[in-house]
């Protein structure tokens, strides 16, 4: 039984190896890009001639925009591509777990660490874009310079927690299904698969919302300083 899809090597040439994580990540990327391109080829603003797929895609985008706006009302559209991509990637890779033979790439610590690193890089980038380098560095010293080491520590640990939370939830879902298949093969694995789907969606939402909360915290200091 594999803990992570990293251990399933599909192809090797010399020292370059293609493991299941990479291949399934490519599949998710291909799926998202293909569906988006196919749907947005004939975008229309008219109510009568719009396709169902376009309405569906609009519903998803509006949902994500609404959530982002509730967390950070100012210029919420600049964060929509990043946070929306995070949510869609994690949600699709978790929900496709229902397809037999699918190994969710988010069940590998490599993928979740990469996602957490990209959030850890995006937070200072958005903060500096909004407040300038000096303003962003100055926000580490608020409300007092004494808590600077704790602030830095909390920034690193919350990114680590992002990675381990997502990895642990998805990995445990796949592992429980595998173990139960050996113990009680008839109905119980189905229930655990359903729970795994729910958890996968919730974790995708949590990841995106937490990323948005961290970005919102980084860009919000400017208003407090102006008061």
Applying CB under 8 A, which residues contact other proteins?
Answer: 1, 3, 161, 164-165, 167-169, 171-172, 175, 202-203, 205-206, 209-210
Torsion of CA 125, 126, 132, 134, to 10 degrees: -60
Q: How far is the CB of 19 from other proteins (least distance, A)?
A: 16
Cβ distance to other proteins smaller for residue 156 or 172: 172
Cβ distance to other proteins smaller for residue 173 or 189: 173
Q: How far is the CB of 171 from other proteins (least distance, A)?
A: 7
Q: How far is the CB of 18 from other proteins (least distance, A)?
A: 21
Cα–Cα distance between 151 and 35 in angstroms, integer?
41
Q: How far is the CB of 210 from other proteins (least distance, A)?
A: 8
Q: How far is the CB of 8 from other proteins (least distance, A)?
A: 14
Structure tokens at 72: 């950070």
Cβ distance to other proteins smaller for residue 3 or 141: 3
Question: Are 110 and 149 within 8 A, CB to CB?
Answer: no
196 burial level (CB within 10 Å; 0-12, 13-18, 19+):
buried
Q: How far is the CB of 39 from other proteins (least distance, A)?
A: 28
Among residues 6, 219, 12, the alpha carbon closest in space to that of 123 is found at 219
Among residues 107, 116, 120, the alpha carbon closest in space to that of 199 is found at 107
Cβ distance to other proteins smaller for residue 6 or 136: 6
20-40 vs 80-95: helix axis angle to the nearest 10? Answer: 120
Cβ distance to other proteins smaller for residue 131 or 203: 203
Among residues 174, 162, 164, the alpha carbon closest in space to that of 200 is found at 174
Cβ distance to other proteins smaller for residue 50 or 165: 165
**H helical segments located in 50-187:** 52-71, 80-95, 109-138, 148-183
């Amino acid at each position: 039984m594999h803990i992570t899809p990293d251990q399933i090597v599909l192809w090797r040439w010399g020292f370059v190896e293609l493991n299941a994580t990479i291949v399934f990540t490519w599949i998710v990327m291909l799926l998202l890009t293909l569906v988006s391109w196919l749907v947005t080829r004939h975008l229309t603003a008219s109510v009568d001639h719009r396709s169902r797929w376009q309405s569906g895609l609009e519903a998803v985008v509006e949902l994500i925009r609404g959530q982002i706006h509730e967390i950070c009302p100012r210029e919420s559209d600049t964060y929509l591509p990043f946070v929306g991509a995070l949510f869609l990637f994690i949600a699709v890779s978790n929900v496709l777990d229902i397809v037999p033979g699918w190994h969710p790439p988010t069940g590998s610590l490599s993928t979740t660490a990469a996602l957490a690193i990209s959030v850890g890089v995006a937070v200072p980038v958005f903060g500096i874009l909004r407040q300038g380098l000096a303003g962003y560095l100055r926000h580490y010293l608020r409300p007092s310079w004494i808590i600077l080491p704790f602030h830095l520590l909390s920034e690193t640990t919350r990114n680590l927690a992002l990675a381990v939370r997502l990895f642990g939830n998805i990995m445990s879902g796949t592992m429980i299904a595998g173990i139960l298949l050996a113990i009680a093969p008839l109905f119980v694995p189905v229930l655990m698969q359903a729970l795994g789907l729910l958890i996968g969606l919730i974790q995708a939402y949590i990841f995106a919302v937490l990323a948005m909360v961290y970005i919102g915290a980084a860009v919000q200091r400017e208003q407090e300083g102006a008061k």
